[in-house]
Structure 1
Amino acid sequence: MAEFPSVSPPDTAPRDPTAPGRKEDHIELAFRSQVDRLQLDKRFDYEPLLAAHPAPGSLPRIDWGDKQLHAPLWVSSMTGGTEKAYTINHNLARAAGEFGIGMGLGSCRGLLYDDHRFKDFNVRPIAGDAAILFANLGVAQVQVLLDEGNEAMIGQLVRTLDLDGLIVHVNPLQEWLQPEGDRFTVSPLETIQALIETLPDLPLIVKEVGQGMGPASLQALLRLPLLALDTAANGGTNFAKLELFRSDDLAREAYSGLTQVGHGAEEMVRQINGLLRSETVPVACQHLIVSGGVQGFLDGYYLTQIAGLPAVYGQASAFLRYAREDYGTLRRFVMTQLRGLELANAYLRPRH
């Protein structure tokens, strides 16, 4: 019987000192790594042959007003005006500057009348000039300012903080359920239209606060010259539900069903796509921010890829969770999101 010579690498061949340990890991972990075929993500075709591993920073840039986002990721508006908010906002602004992602500040209402918490919102020095940062006011407060003839205060707020524009959040259910809530005397759409007419050069984003919007509201906003429409869909942080936690037992029991009213992010994206295909809807809105229940980069990648408008995805609670810690923790979270997006962009093709 013929003997086969041993196949030993020449002394000059590179050796892999980690190979024995890695193979041992593979053996030990193989049985724990089974995937149920019924749980496969049906949203994507996986195409492993068509790209090299993506380099960090390889995502295409996105024009956003007169600036650019380096990735389709948006820090959705969160709280402001407390000591905790100071740390959160400054950490988030630092990330926005380092990674070129967008950021909406929490409600800036208090700054209109008192600069006591100005330091919480003064994040431009942290983020740098290239970062995309937006102020945030409720539509009820905008209505009051317009009614009083004080619309100049909105422009002053944006200029004082050296921001790139304004987010108007539309929140009728939250205001109704909030013990201290405002009451709308005109429709939010009328207020937004009046704001555009009064301050036509102000870059504007309109969002809900966790319930989403139906097709008639979406159609009305698509017609307006907005920089972006933010879905703020039901499925993430829901501010109507948040206000119920601040109410008494009777109110919670009576109004709890309202927290289940609304529209999900994918539903809204598909509704917008349908409206875009309609020849009867003239579209002036430039971008879409898909937020509300977006759990990670796979959700964000899918929803932005199927969107008919140039789109980014937003998260609030996920950023909040890490922004309360040291900056290194937040930085690692953002880097993980971006590396995941790069990997998805290279190897995943959404099924529309």
Structure 2
Amino acid sequence: MTDNPPEDPTAASRKEDHIELAFRSQVDSLSLDERFYYEPLLAAHPSPGSLPKVAFGDKEMKAPLWVSSMTGGTEKAYTINQNLAQACNEFGLGMGLGSCRPLLYGTERLKDFDIRQLTGDDVPLFANLGVAQIQELFAAGREQEIRQMCDLLRVDGLIIHVNPFQEAMQPEGDIFTEAPLTTVKATLEALPGLQVIVKEVGQGMGPQSLSRLLELPLLAVDTAANGGTNFSKLELLRSDDARREAFAPIVKAGHSANEMVDWVNEICAKDQPQTTGELRQGAGLARTQVQCKHLIISGGIRTFLDGYYLTEKSELPAVYGQASAFLKYARDDYATLQAYVNAQIRGLELAKAYLRPKL
């Protein structure tokens, strides 16, 4: 140490802050996050941009963060989707568009969905249609319009959202003419080469539905679990008081993301040959040959730690999705959304360096 060491110009103010904030920084041991081992000795601070790239289909993402399908067909949607597309380009994220149903009736709202020039060609971008709309197209012999729509939007494939409770709760809801699984299979057969993702809309899926989907050659299954935006509940809120009271219990049914990841892991049990597995006896399911390539874990993912834990836990290659969190920051200026995404990615970098999931 030298006789006249340089002064720390921030020392006084920093220590004053420490004194003032010390009592507010106490953490109750009961509130500790028990999902991780904290290992502070094993890594230097990670460099920004140090996350490993994530393969998703024939594309790569710079972070395992997916912008879940949200909105389209309104003036507000234009600003939201423009901001989200710019973030996907800057940070290398994947994105699912909101329901592209308006494009089946004309191109008046095309500007809301036509964002490939903003995302760039390197990131995954997917169109989105509901099972009911796809059933109508098949019934009318118009199923090739699905591929035409995807070509128009220059997307990488199609998300099929499955929403029987939402349609039942919606005052102007559609009626399914056949089981959604039949429609998914028909889409894969009628449109070979089209990458398909299947998701629910906020209540998740049970083990039998997951098992039947995972045996199909899908690009991904999106959990869309209960705990995030529940579109069945959203539609029920649009109903009258008597209907809301009568159907309130049904929108509480569903499954959490953690529960669904556990089921997927059982289906994909590593100790079975050829990535086959059997669910526990209570599920009553036969062994499943897994063909689905990826899992998108969404629904109730509040923080980057939720996403980090569940993607690390998943036996299938996984990314995690958020909808309402992105929506909150994407409605106004891009700088607000940019700051949010930057913080999420930095959080993932720190988690990967210092936290080990207790799997």
TM-score above 0.5, yes or no: yes
Q: CA deviation at 1:18?
A: 0.4
* Matching residue of 2:225: 233
- Which segment is superposed worse, 294-303 or 147-156? 147-156
* Matching residue of 1:193: 185
- Cα deviations by residue, 1:143-176 (Å, 9 ceiling, x for unpaired): 1111221111000111111111110000000001
Matched, 1:329 2:322: no
Letter in 2 for 1:181: G
Matched, 1:75 2:67: yes
Matched-pair identity in %: 65
Tell me if the contact between 1:96 and 1:132 (Cα under 8 Å) persists in the aligned partners: no
* Matching residue of 2:240: 248
Match of residue 24, structure 1, among 9, 16, 20: 16
* Matching residue of 2:148: 156
Letter in 1 for 2:340: F
- Cα deviations by residue, 1:103-138 (Å, 9 ceiling, x for unpaired): 111000110121001101110111112121110000
Q: CA RMSD in A?
A: 1.0
For residues 260 and 300 of structure 1, the distance between their equivalents in structure 2, rounded to whole angstroms, comes to: 23
Letter in 2 for 1:294: I
SS at match of 1:205: strand
Task: Report matched runs for 1:35-184 at 5 Å.
Answer: 35-184=27-176
For residues 235 and 205 of structure 2, the distance between their equivalents in structure 1, rounded to whole angstroms, comes to: 19
* Matching residue of 2:215: 223
Task: Report matched runs for 1:302-341 at 5 Å.
Answer: 302-341=309-348
Q: CA deviation at 1:272?
A: 0.8
* Matching residue of 1:258: 250
Letter in 1 for 2:335: G
Call closer, same or farther: CA 1:225–1:133 in 2, change over 3 Å. Answer: same
SS at match of 2:288: coil
Letter in 1 for 2:213: L
Q: CA deviation at 1:9?
A: 4.6
* Matching residue of 1:269: 261
Letter in 2 for 1:329: T
Q: CA deviation at 1:232?
A: 0.2
Match of residue 296, structure 1, among 293, 303, 308: 303
Q: CA deviation at 1:15?
A: 2.8
Aligned length: 344
Tell me if the contact between 1:290 and 1:312 (Cα under 8 Å) persists in the aligned partners: yes
Unmatched segments (≥5 aa) in structure 2: 270-276, 279-286
For residues 337 and 300 of structure 1, the distance between their equivalents in structure 2, rounded to whole angstroms, comes to: 10
* Matching residue of 2:281: none
TM-score (norm 1): 0.96
For residues 243 and 27 of structure 1, the distance between their equivalents in structure 2, rounded to whole angstroms, comes to: 50
Letter in 1 for 2:60: Q
- Which segment is superposed worse, 35-44 or 144-153? 144-153
Any runs of at least 4 consecutive aligned residues in structure 1 with deviations exceeding 3 A, and if so which?
8-11
Letter in 2 for 1:59: L
* Matching residue of 1:212: 204
* Matching residue of 1:5: none
For residues 9 and 119 of structure 1, the distance between their equivalents in structure 2, rounded to whole angstroms, comes to: 65
For residues 28 and 245 of structure 1, the distance between their equivalents in structure 2, rounded to whole angstroms, comes to: 45
TM-score (norm 2): 0.94
For residues 2 and 14 of structure 2, the distance between their equivalents in structure 1, rounded to whole angstroms, comes to: 19
